Amino acid sequence: MNNTYPGKICASIAERTIEKAIAAASTVESFADVVEIRLDALENPQITPFTEKIQKPTLFTNRADWEGGAFSGSEEERLAILYEAIEKKASYIDIELKTDDALKLPLIEKAKSTGCISIVSWHYFSSTPSLPALKSILQEQYRSGAQIGKIVTMAKTPQDVLRVLDLQNQAKELDFPLIAFCMGNHGAVSRVATLNLGGFMTYASSDQERQTAPGQLPASTLHRILTEINCGN
């Protein structure tokens, strides 16, 4: 697929079985640049079936329940499968910024040693913090050693959206690729705008019924909008 838009579309897949997740991925691969597998949603999480059958670059996320995900086991158990993803040539892994440094930093270093790209993420599901607070989070992500930052908040007003999108200015100064947009109805526009403002990636669902976060657009819709906006640029 030759994209006319900047940045990448990541289709997020959260299904209970491997078979359903692979089937969902197959429906969006023509619209997505990256496919995220939410390991925390799977009844029996594995890596190999996805790296073998998905043609697009794969991102593996095992989201903890304290960050809005479904994984409730120990941190060592949660991260063990991300180490497996690194060893089996995943393109990306997602590690939460709030993960204890003693566990987070070795995982990031392991990813670097194999060429796997680490995304250090921070989500806030109730509101959007002040711009100074958001910039502090970005600085912490930059210092973590991860290659990419991800900041996602819940937008209650248009001003919330503007604060999050403004983070791309600081990210550019740091030369640090950043994923930054907002959830919710107010935030939907930011999922489109972020790429044209310098964002590394934006996230989409496989279809309208399978959102992994509020305000998520289907990958086919997001691809069409971004292509139309950037056509001829």
In a domain, 164, yes or no: yes
In a domain, 52, yes or no: yes
User: Residue 155 is inside which H or E element, if any?
Assistant: none
Region 180-195: mean pLDDT is 96
Contact predicate 64/41, CB 8 Å = no
In a domain, 96, yes or no: yes
123 flagged as catalytic: yes
What b-and-e string marks burial along 147-182, b requiring 16 or more CB atoms within 10 Å of the CB?
bbbbbbbbbbeeebbebbbebbebbeeeebbbbbbb
In a domain, 2, yes or no: no
d(Cα 76, Cα 13) in Å, to the nearest integer? 23
The residue segments making up the domain with residue 188 are 8-230
Region 122-131: mean pLDDT is 96
Bridge-partner residues for 58, per DSSP? Answer: 35
Annotated catalytic residue, options 123, 135, 186, 223: 123
Residues whose CB falls within 8 Å of the CB of residue 51, separated by 6 or more in sequence, listed in order: 58, 88, 89, 90
Q: What is the pTM of this model?
A: 0.95
Residue 1 reports pLDDT greater than 50: no
How many structural domains are present in the chain? 1
| Angle at alpha carbon of residue 98, lines to 123 and 201, rounded to 5° | 45
In a domain, 1, yes or no: no
In a domain, 42, yes or no: yes
Return the CATH number at 203.
3.20.20.70
223 flagged as catalytic: no
Confidence tier at 4 by pLDDT (50, 70, 90): confident
Q: What pLDDT score was predicted for residue 231? A: 79
Pick the more confident residue, 58 or 1: 58
Share of the chain above pLDDT 90, in %: 92
In a domain, 59, yes or no: yes
In a domain, 61, yes or no: yes
